[in-house]
Structure 1
Amino acid sequence: METARSGDLLPTYSAPLLLDRYRPLARIGRGGMGLVFRGHDEYLGRDVAIKVFGGGNDEHVETYRAELRMLASLNHHGVVSIIDAGVDTSSPDDPRPFLVMQLVRGTTVRERVAERPISPREIGEIGYEVAEALEYIHAQNVIHRDITPSNIMIVNYGTEHSRERAMLTDFGLAVEAADAGFQSENISGTAPYLSPEQVRNEPLATASDIYSLGLVLLECFTRAMAFPGAPLPSAMARLLSGPDMPAEVVPEPWRSLLQRMTAAEPERRPTAAELGTELRSMLRDIRTPSKSPRGRR
């Protein structure tokens, strides 16, 4: 199988029909450990997203199989659905595991932040819906490990009375967490959004996702990364100090909440359930203009 390499500007893709059903088409993004393509389900006649992981040996492929089975068990409206999975062995020396996922059409939080300022209400709604999704996956003993503005999709269904919804995407780095936490051989994740314990490569708990989400919501207010720069300096910076939260940009009570979400000590951070409850209360306190199309929660 030929896949687009990281330097390709106009990538091409040539592959057999995966599982005799899914045809990869154009590359649409890059996620943790793989490339994402728009594809077509020849059997049902619908578009899908296909994430192709980097190649590996038989041991790596078996690890992927176990993780893919775990991810396929997730079923929540705030999580992009996994439809199918397999391993392309058309090149026997270079097996490529892949995921077939729901193709979500929308705007990422990164694109929205670059596009225009985001109101506190919008930020609260994004945070609430991601917290709700995290509460579910954490209850399934899963840690996402890569919460970033690019991995949260804002979906607009285009009907008169619907409002935009946030969905959590890209579970390519997600792991099943044992009671004692999970520790990998290598640091995994996107450098500007790593939790301190990820930077130290310590055993992880679900609080790691809360820290990363805190940085994403902070970026929605400031429209700038809290820890920019090259990967290593960016990752190490949070070990020296917490993220800057200027009071004139991040008002209360958001500032206090984000400080707790990005606390250096995991035990000081709220759980996803606690975060959802607090955000719901904060959203109710925001007065909605009478002509707002977003309505009340």
Structure 2
Amino acid sequence: MTSILVVEDDDAIRGNLARLLRMEGYEVTVATNGIEGLERARALRPDVVISDINMPGMDGFALVEALRADAALQTTVVMMLTALDDRASMRRGMRSGADDYLAKPFTRTELLDALDALLKKRGRIELSIHSAVQAREEHLRRAFTASLGGQPLTHPAALDAPADAVPDQVLQATVLFSDIRNFTSLAEKLSSAEVAELLTQYFERTSDPVLRHGGRHLKFVGDGLMAVFADTMADAPIAAARRGLAAGLAIALATHEFRSWLDERFGGRGLPAFAVGVGLHAGEVTICRIGAGDVRETTAIGDTVNAAARLQGASKELGWTVVASSAVLQEAGEGVETGGMTSLEVRGRNGWLDVAEIVGLAATNADLEHGMAAVAERADEIRRAVEINSEITARAVKGALRSKLSTLRGHQFQPGDAPLRLKGFRLTRKLASGGMTEVYLAQRDDDGLPVVLKVLEASAERGGANLARFIQEYALLSRVDHAHVIRIYDQGFSDDHAYIAMEYFERGDLRSELRGGMARERVLDVVRQIALALEAIHAGGIIHRDLKPENVMLRPDGSVALADFGVAKSLLQDEALALTQTRHGEVVGTPFYLSPEQATGGAITPASDLYSLGVMLYEMLTGSRPYSGETLDLLLARHLTAPVPQLPQEFAGLQPVLDKLMAKRPADRYASAREFLAALDELPLLRTLATR
């Protein structure tokens, strides 16, 4: 029986829909809002979701995006209910991932006809996939002496499974997941027979290299493929992780060659660009048999499997073809060629995983001796195939993101309007706008956490450097996890658009507190927290370069966080490649707070941030800046030559600290933020303050 979830906040409409559908023999569950609807969808996994758009809390747009983001609900049929003349909502709903919409008011016949058409369409695609998957699994069953999972394989280059393989065994293994990008959009342009033909041809080409590299326990899930690579023999010559990486790269090459078949077979049909994603993770894997009687299937389960699937899903968003965890890289040995690197959050016991883009594999003598000669013989072809596949993926991701971010520009937030959505965030109002950057207040769908969305739209003519600087801000911050550094929750970049979702500070920045006057104890407490933040970013190879009260944010509990790394510089970058390269004589930072070396275009070091902290210390204690000038040149000259100002008598005990912070020569300042913190600890007053 087809199950339907109705999500509607209007009692009358919800009741009528449920009654009508039950009379037609459907199994119906109801929810009164988006949050409740998402919970029930995850618990019940209905065949169809019918959802209103305008609902309190999570609206219909947010609900469909959440459904499409859940692997278990990605293929659920979604029909949205909208007003007859609300074409904008119709288009937005379809972009969010809805399958169809129904304009209110509607008749019983209109509802049932629309529902019937959707179910037939989805059923046709699923039947085609099922047919192709069955055919491929039967082919593999003939290749195996028993079932898909675990007996010796009659394949010339495959590594045999252990003779003592038993059900429910636990292995240390590498799991590979691959999947076709946006397969539903592709399948909708083909007949059922053509979908089955396409998948059969694709699986034939991609499962072969998986088997040749020793993949076992192959499982097909829709248009996806899963395989397990294990060190099943004590003297296995090639590590499982290395064979898994080779198989993933071989899938990319096979996919590249498969495009020629697609062009020949379906040229002129307007199919979307064909691309795949591959994810690999290594760890403990449980192999178990499921089913009853003669119909038993061997499959792999566990956190390692889930993490590999998560990495495959993330490959699309990252714009990478093959994504592997650090666990895979550590076990794979030498010669693994990587591109980008980042960290991803994975549900379960894995938590955050460090991952890398895999672009190639340099073959060793052992590889050549044990069935992996293609890695060397076709190395250049593999790299090119990975590059092209990643370009296709990146274009699609960037295009979708650009479309979404473009809709934000100039949007007027009106009471009663459905909120704009962006990747799990609901925008509620605009906070600021200036030049190419706009700042919005938003809420995270998962927990309602308020966040700030900073969005940049940069034209090629005038925004290239700004976009590079914007991207660098996230790249730098993503490496730091510290209580006194702003938290970053998400990010996305296209060729001329970018956004960062970051921590929201309702109390604003330190300037507001400074204007009201700050007690000595509070000043020292804040300075200590900023120094702790500097210690953390300097340890990560980052110099802030623009330390000032406006970039120190206040949390509700009184703690502070360092923010705005837009002009920060990484010590780890090659000077010639730095995204925010500072030319000789160029001033970067706010003139009232910048160091003498910044004023002259000299070398910037962590000591430059400490000088700025000294300027802030003076201002917080006295209420005024240490230097001023009628012109910029005069102000910079005073940073270079004027003596360090004297503090009022009541703060005289801090004068030696200030003198060392604001020394003209970087070598005369504290050697590090840690040394400065140690000096603070020696002050009698600080010994009585609670450290945060």
Q: State the one-letter code of the partner of 2:600.
A: R
Q: Provide the residue aligned with 1:292 in structure 2.
A: none
Q: Provide the residue aligned with 1:255 in structure 2.
A: 655
What is the SS of the residue equivalent to 1:238? helix
Q: State the one-letter code of the partner of 1:41.
A: R
**Structure 2 CA distance, aligned partners of 1:13 and 1:240?**
51
1:34-113 to 2 correspondences below 5 Å: 34=437, 36-53=439-456, 55-57=458-460, 60=465, 61=467, 64-87=470-493, 95-113=496-514
Q: Among 156, 161, 170, which residue is 2:564 paired with?
A: 170
**Structure 1 CA distance, aligned partners of 2:448 and 2:641?**
52
**Structure 2 CA distance, aligned partners of 1:37 and 1:228?**
34
- Whether the aligned pair in 1 keeps the contact of 2:424 and 2:444 (CA below 8 Å) is no
Structure 2 CA distance for partners of 1:142 and 1:34, relative to 1, 3 Å: farther
Q: Among 93, 106, 124, which residue is 2:524 paired with?
A: 124
- Whether the aligned pair in 2 keeps the contact of 1:67 and 1:175 (CA below 8 Å) is no
What is the SS of the residue equivalent to 1:101? strand
1:87-236 to 2 correspondences below 5 Å: 87=493, 95-116=496-517, 118-157=518-557, 164-178=558-572, 184-185=582-583, 186-229=586-629, 231-236=632-637
Structure 2's unaligned 5+ residue stretches are: 1-405
Q: State the one-letter code of the partner of 2:444.
A: D
What is the SS of the residue equivalent to 1:273? helix
Shift of residue 123, structure 1, vs aligned partner: 1.2
Q: State the one-letter code of the partner of 2:582.
A: S
- Whether the aligned pair in 1 keeps the contact of 2:444 and 2:451 (CA below 8 Å) is yes
Higher helix share: 2
CA RMSD of superposed structures (Å): 3.2
Q: Does 1:23 align with 2:431?
A: no
Structure 2 CA distance for partners of 1:180 and 1:128, relative to 1, 3 Å: farther
Q: Percent identity?
A: 24
- Whether the aligned pair in 2 keeps the contact of 1:222 and 1:249 (CA below 8 Å) is no
Structure 2 CA distance for partners of 1:248 and 1:56, relative to 1, 3 Å: farther
TM (norm. structure 2) is: 0.35
- Whether the aligned pair in 2 keeps the contact of 1:180 and 1:203 (CA below 8 Å) is no
| CA offsets 1:228-255 (integer angstroms, 9 cap, x no match) | 3554443333123134224436321x11
Structure 2 CA distance for partners of 1:76 and 1:179, relative to 1, 3 Å: same
Q: State the one-letter code of the partner of 2:559.
A: R
**Structure 1 CA distance, aligned partners of 2:627 and 2:441?**
31
**Structure 1 CA distance, aligned partners of 2:432 and 2:601?**
30
What is the SS of the residue equivalent to 2:485? coil
TM (norm. structure 1) is: 0.77
Structure 2 CA distance for partners of 1:179 and 1:266, relative to 1, 3 Å: farther
Q: State the one-letter code of the partner of 1:74.
A: V
Higher strand share: 2
Q: Size of the alignment, in residue pairs?
A: 269
Q: Provide the residue aligned with 2:25 in structure 1.
A: none
**Structure 1 CA distance, aligned partners of 2:553 and 2:559?**
8
**Structure 1 CA distance, aligned partners of 2:665 and 2:513?**
30
Q: State the one-letter code of the partner of 1:274.
A: E
Structure 2 CA distance for partners of 1:63 and 1:220, relative to 1, 3 Å: closer
**Structure 1 CA distance, aligned partners of 2:449 and 2:529?**
27
- Whether the aligned pair in 1 keeps the contact of 2:469 and 2:567 (CA below 8 Å) is no
Q: Which moved more, 1:220-229 or 1:201-210?
A: 220-229
Larger relative contact order, structure 1 or 2 (CA cutoff 8 Å, min sep 6): 1
Shift of residue 275, structure 1, vs aligned partner: 0.9
**Structure 2 CA distance, aligned partners of 1:98 and 1:228?**
36
- Whether the aligned pair in 2 keeps the contact of 1:242 and 1:262 (CA below 8 Å) is no
Structure number with greater Rg is 2
- Whether the aligned pair in 2 keeps the contact of 1:24 and 1:39 (CA below 8 Å) is yes
What is the SS of the residue equivalent to 1:250? helix
Structure 1's unaligned 5+ residue stretches are: 5-10, 90-94, 158-163, 289-294
Q: Does 1:274 align with 2:687?
A: no
- Whether the aligned pair in 2 keeps the contact of 1:25 and 1:40 (CA below 8 Å) is no
